[in-house]
Chain A
């Protein structure tokens, strides 16, 4: 049997006063399972760590148990001591007799008894600990970007480096939704002035390779080593290798055809905001080529159907309204809105400027557009329920943003999810907003949810930050040591572990009918080990044997 040392930390009076450590030492000694017991006032102190290291070396302990505080606080501290004295860092067990005994059990007798059980369990468990190797793999620092809108372009420009190539695949032409825009709010600069130089920079950068009019057929592999297969329009296949994948698939305008109340597609003079921008918001003419004298801009088109506020449409429609007023001061523009969404430091002012240009604002609860010989009628219900009517020459529908319909297919390819609206789901909505559950797969821009141009750019930069920080050329990737494995002998290939793995780390090897764990992706959560009906999936540091022995000892 391995030579095990036991260390009892007094934590000043914290443990020493609440637990009878003399009795603990005496009883454990009686059990005869440890080769030595030492006490210290405070093992986590510089003096304590030195004492611990020297004692392990002097006594030749091969494993040790330290009864002290929460592993959350000092597991790392003692793992480092283990490494320093040449032990594998898995070869010890930290028992929490402070938070779980000293601080929570007021009766000293009971606290001592509980601590004893915990320590005995740890002494038993530690005998079954296995040395785990800290594995490293080479990483491919190159980036594969899917989508050539502004999000994808920004990611490419911000990650392409000496030592790092970027491959950008776009199913159509570069530029995304922005190439249809006239001006960008709130600066009111032509979108082309912004986009043009960026596309030039993209084309002129030797580190960036563009694949326009290409479809992504398949992405295999994992963080640090993805392989993507593209297909050109001519049916030619291209294989790419990259360390990370960025989904920048953008969004598309909600199509108001399915909502009858707007008369879109049926009535002359009803346009979406995008159509107006594409026509150019110059002198607006009716279908019969007469100047447009009055326009109603209707907000929140599709919002109820989509189930969310698209954030950019309020300000975007104000941009159009003020352009109309600037072109022709005789044209009346009324914005019909529900709630004005003007988040952040710049948009209240934009709204006031728009009002100052003579754009009128009216709140509605419901709205209906009908046609007649003399033009269009917008009937709407005001707050409080009274009805109102506007006779206008033109209606502009400020549509929300809907997810790109190709998202689910890509999500499937990369083992990530889309939400009920079709946007990619983040690893964590708040803390990891541009990464996904598959390590090395990132999302930026409207692929992860509706937003404006500025949001998209900052998210693309964030993605670049994550890529640059995690895949440094020449630096090897350190893998999680406490991972899972599947026994080839015991596995029946039922696939339960594949279903419960949140990280896409377990897959079925179809040819051998067994599950395999990808150590690069596995984060050691243990879901597979607990779900496996045949005992084939096992967590390397929480084996059935370790847990069984530990729990049995506690329950004795």
Chain B
């Protein structure tokens, strides 16, 4: 039987995008499945990327446009994988797509439908820092440039005959009759690139997240700085003040989790740079356990932040408490004992965890969840799982920088393209490949 050359890529973040584009370039047909209504993953939450402080959206948007125009790649948003049967070279995959209620063909993304929608709920993409409508785009610039209707909060789901969005649409793009769909596809290989989420910081009472008003987590701070975010890039406390001082807390959940998330030292230093750029005269204190800046660019980046004035404090046992509108940081400095610093806002760097649903997906795919729920790979073939033809890429394999995510995605592509039978002589050395 002929080997199927099509590839399924699960997750359309940085890893999934990179893998899909390379596979398409090699002439492969790619099904790129994304559970959200938009694609781009967590990268598009960021304003800038370390170490060169380049605009994240400007970096990723051209890749996204290229992908949308690529005829070899079928992007399926709002879609989950529900079943995988078969073997390498011949997988049968069932996909379930939820209705968007907005036609990707007809919609031009003008946004005329948002204003008339009477519903207002928290915008999850904005970490609840602003509201959205029942018909919504995750953020300005999200792609595909077409909204989706969230039927969990749409008035129609409550039995009301609201047609406000449909009435406002000039392009006949909205259809309440659209149904969820199931689809079966055949592929020869699968790349799993489902990404990461931040650990829930409210698990750790010492940080008072959710109780102390001006304690934020990393994604919240990213959205505050984002020019398409809730404050259009102005760094503000929850009560709208410009902070005079900010505390950045490293390693939140590291001891409990048992691993280092690898990128937090760098991105908190980036946050310090954000603060210096946006808030004149701001004081920034970083409370770290071990400063980890691996690789050729890390130290230089940290030195630049030091020059801008970031205060680095080695601290253990950090505890936060409310202090009027601000936050009091109490810590052990390892030299003189307990010390405190009062700041206007605190940002926590939670550990990086595999995305929700990773366990269930591992079961469905017949691959092993490994340490801490990250997918397990062969030690010296860091994309190969125990099931031939299924490869992993990106932060679902372990926490990593954007650069390392791209590298691993490209490595997964090599595994797919190199998986042909002509190659077994070489691959014999890797048991996971047989």
Which residues of chain A have a CB within 8 Å of any CB of chain B?
A: 11-14, 42, 44-46, 72, 76, 157-163, 187, 194, 197-198, 201, 204-205, 303, 307-311, 339-349, 383-384, 419, 421, 423, 428-434, 449-451, 453-455, 457-459, 461-466, 468-470, 472, 475
Which one of A201, A345, A450, A472 lies within 8 Å of B27 (CB-CB)? A472
List which B1-53 residues lie within 8 A (CB) of chain A: 22-23, 25-27, 49, 51-52
Given A12-B171, A308-B295, A464-B418, do A469 and B407 touch, yes or no (CB 8 Å)?
Answer: no
Which one of A157, A384, A458 lies within 8 Å of B429 (CB-CB)? A157
Judged by a CB distance under 8 angstroms, whether B411 is at the interface is: yes
Q: Which residues of B contact A344 (CB under 8 A)?
A: 259-260, 262, 398-400
Taking CB as reference atom, which chain B residue is nearest A347? Answer: B260
Instruction: Compute how far the CA of A343 lies from the CA of B261 in the bound complex, rounded to whole angstroms.
Output: 7
Give, as a whole number of angstroms, the nearest-CB distance from B257 to chain A.
8
Give, as a whole number of angstroms, the nearest-CB distance from B412 to chain A.
7
Judged by a CB distance under 8 angstroms, whether B371 is at the interface is: yes
Taking CB as reference atom, which chain B residue is nearest A11? Answer: B108
Q: Which residues of A contact B406 (CB under 8 A)?
A: 430-433, 462
Q: Which residues of A contact B299 (CB under 8 A)?
A: 303, 307-309
Q: Which residues of A contact B418 (CB under 8 A)?
A: 158-159, 161, 464, 468
Which of B94-102, B206-214, B376-384 touches A? B376-384
A434 to B410, Cβ gap below 8 A? yes
Instruction: Compute how far the CA of A204 lies from the CA of B425 in the bound complex, rounded to whole angstroms.
Output: 9
Which residues of chain B have a CB within 8 Å of any CB of chain A?
A: 22-23, 25-27, 49, 51-52, 54, 59, 63, 65, 69, 105-106, 108, 110, 112, 170-171, 254, 258-260, 262, 290-300, 314, 334-336, 371-372, 374, 379-383, 398-404, 406-415, 417-418, 420, 422-423, 425-426, 428-429
Given A462-B408, A465-B413, do A451 and B290 touch, yes or no (CB 8 Å)?
Answer: no
User: Can you list 14 pairs linking A and B with CB atoms under 8 Å apart?
Assistant: A42-B171, A309-B294, A310-B294, A340-B292, A341-B294, A343-B260, A430-B49, A431-B63, A433-B403, A433-B406, A461-B410, A462-B406, A465-B411, A466-B22
B298 to A308, Cβ gap below 8 A? yes
Given A434-B407, A472-B27, do A346 and B262 touch, yes or no (CB 8 Å)?
Answer: no
Taking CB as reference atom, which chain B residue is nearest A446? Answer: B296
Instruction: Compute how far the CA of A391 lies from the CA of B398 in the bound complex, rounded to whole angstroms.
Output: 40
Instruction: Compute how far the CA of A54 lies from the CA of B171 in the bound complex, rounded to whole angstroms.
Output: 22
A343 to B262, Cβ gap below 8 A? yes
The 8 closest A-B pairs by CB, nearest first: A461-B411, A465-B414, A462-B410, A311-B294, A465-B413, A384-B335, A449-B296, A464-B414
Task: Given A343-B292, A454-B379, output 18 extra A-B contacts at Cβ < 8 Å.
Answer: A12-B108, A45-B106, A159-B414, A161-B418, A187-B379, A201-B428, A310-B294, A344-B259, A347-B260, A349-B259, A383-B314, A430-B52, A432-B406, A463-B410, A465-B415, A465-B417, A470-B25, A472-B27
Which one of B22, B262, B296, B407 lies within 8 Å of A421 (CB-CB)? B296
Give, as a whole number of angstroms, the nearest-CB distance from A67 to chain B.
16
Given A308-B300, A340-B290, do A465 and B429 touch, yes or no (CB 8 Å)?
Answer: no
Given A454-B380, A457-B381, A472-B26, do A308 and B297 touch, yes or no (CB 8 Å)?
Answer: yes
Q: Which residues of A contact B415 (CB under 8 A)?
A: 461, 465
Taking CB as reference atom, which chain A residue is nearest B373? Answer: A345
B260 to A44, Cβ gap below 8 A? no
Q: Which residues of A contact B260 (CB under 8 A)?
A: 342-344, 347-348
B294 to A162, Cβ gap below 8 A? no
Taking CB as reference atom, which chain B residue is nearest A10? Answer: B170
Taking CB as reference atom, which chain A residue is nearest B411? Answer: A461
A451 to B295, Cβ gap below 8 A? yes
Give, as a whole number of angstroms, the nearest-CB distance from B409 to chain A.
8
Which one of B170, B291, B401 lies within 8 Å of A12 (CB-CB)? B170
Which one of A11, A383, A423 lies within 8 Å of B334 (CB-CB)? A383
Instruction: Compute how far the CA of A158 lies from the CA of B379 in the bound complex, rounded to whole angstroms.
Output: 17
Instruction: Compute how far the CA of A307 lies from the CA of B296 in the bound complex, rounded to whole angstroms.
Output: 8
Instruction: Compute how far the CA of A429 lies from the CA of B49 in the bound complex, rounded to whole angstroms.
Output: 10
A341 to B290, Cβ gap below 8 A? yes
Taking CB as reference atom, which chain A residue is nearest B171? Answer: A12
Q: Which residues of B contact A76 (CB under 8 A)?
A: 69
Given A44-B108, A348-B254, do A469 and B413 touch, yes or no (CB 8 Å)?
Answer: yes
Instruction: Compute how far the CA of A205 lies from the CA of B425 in the bound complex, rounded to whole angstroms.
Output: 8
Which one of A11, A205, A454 lies within 8 Å of B426 (CB-CB)? A205
Give, as a whole number of angstroms, the nearest-CB distance from A44 to chain B.
7
Which one of B22, B374, B408 lies within 8 Å of A458 (CB-CB)? B408
B110 to A14, Cβ gap below 8 A? yes
B26 to A343, Cβ gap below 8 A? no
User: For A430, A453, A455, A463, which residue has the most chain B Cβ atoms within 10 angstroms?
Assistant: A430
Q: Which residues of B contact A303 (CB under 8 A)?
A: 299
User: For A432, A468, A472, which residue has the most chain B Cβ atoms within 10 angstroms?
Assistant: A468
Give, as a whole number of angstroms, the nearest-CB distance from B261 to chain A.
8
Q: Which residues of B contact A468 (CB under 8 A)?
A: 26, 413-414, 417-418
Q: Which residues of B contact A453 (CB under 8 A)?
A: 380
Taking CB as reference atom, which chain A residue is nearest B19? Answer: A465
Taking CB as reference atom, which chain A residue is nearest B18? Answer: A431
Give, as a whole number of angstroms, the nearest-CB distance from B43 to chain A.
9
A430 to B403, Cβ gap below 8 A? yes
Q: Which residues of A contact B413 (CB under 8 A)?
A: 465, 468-469
Instruction: Compute how far the CA of A465 lies from the CA of B383 in the bound complex, rounded to whole angstroms.
Output: 12
B292 to A469, Cβ gap below 8 A? no
Give, as a whole number of angstroms, the nearest-CB distance from B382 to chain A.
5
Give, as a whole number of angstroms, the nearest-CB distance from A336 to chain B.
14
Instruction: Compute how far the CA of A464 lies from the CA of B295 in the bound complex, rounded to whole angstroms.
Output: 22
A160 to B259, Cβ gap below 8 A? no
B407 to A11, Cβ gap below 8 A? no
Instruction: Compute how far the CA of A458 lies from the CA of B382 in the bound complex, rounded to whole angstroms.
Output: 6
A339 to B290, Cβ gap below 8 A? yes
Q: Which residues of A contact B404 (CB under 8 A)?
A: 433, 455, 458
